[in-house]
C-alpha cells in the first residue's frame, strides 16, 4: 500500500520547490558566487545518503539534515548576523539542491526505508 501526495497539493508542493530553488539561484547570482563552485557543490548534500550504510535511522537523520530548507535558513541567518559572505553563499548553495529534489518528488525520509518519504510512503499491504 502506498500513500502519495496527489492532485493539487502535489502540484503546489512541486511548484513551491521550483520557486525556492529559483530564488536561491537568484540569491547566489546576486551574491556573486562562482558558477563553477555551484556546479561542483550542487550534489554534495547527496553524500548524506552514506548514513544508510549504518542503518535506516541514521541514514534518514543524515539525509534530512542535508535536505531541508532549515539548513539553508540557518546558514543564511548566521551569515547575516556574522556578516559572513561565505555563509550566505553556502545558504544559497544548499537550497537549490533541496528544491530540485522536491520538484522531482524526493522528500524527507522516514527511518523505515529509503523510499519512505513525506511525499511517498511505501508499506506492505495491511500495514498502517
Mean pLDDT, residues 13-30: 96
Going by C-alpha positions, the residue among 97, 128, 107 that lies closest to residue 10 is 107
Mind listing the pLDDT tens digit for each residue in 108-127? 898 888 777 777 656 544 45
Going by C-alpha positions, the residue among 101, 112, 118, 120 that lies closest to residue 44 is 101
Q: How far does CA 39 lie from the centroid of its chain?
A: 16
Q: Break the chain into its structural domains and give their ranges.
A: 2-122
Enter the pTM of the model: 0.82
The length of the chain, given as a count of residues: 128
Distance CA 10, CA 97 (A): 19
Distance CA 44, CA 25 (A): 16
Predicted pLDDT of residue 115: 78
pLDDT at 57 over 50: yes
Amino acid at each position: 500500500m502506498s500513500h502519495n501526495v496527489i492532485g493539487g497539493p502535489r502540484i503546489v508542493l512541486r511548484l513551491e520547490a521550483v520557486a525556492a530553488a529559483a530564488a536561491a539561484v537568484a540569491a547566489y547570482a546576486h551574491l556573486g558566487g562562482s558558477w563553477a563552485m555551484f556546479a561542483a557543490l550542487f550534489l554534495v548534500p547527496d553524500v548524506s545518503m552514506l548514513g544508510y550504510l549504518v542503518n535506516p535511522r541514521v541514514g534518514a537523520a543524515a539525509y534530512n539534515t542535508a535536505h531541508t530548507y532549515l539548513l539553508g535558513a540557518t546558514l543564511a541567518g548566521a551569515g547575516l548576523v556574522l556578516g559572513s559572505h561565505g555563509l550566505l553563499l553556502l545558504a544559497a548553495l544548499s537550497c537549490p539542491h533541496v528544491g530540485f529534489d522536491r520538484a522531482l518528488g524526493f522528500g524527507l525520509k522516514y527511518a523505515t526505508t529509503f523510499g519512505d518519504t513525506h511525499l511517498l510512503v511505501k508499506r506492505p499491504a495491511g500495514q498502517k
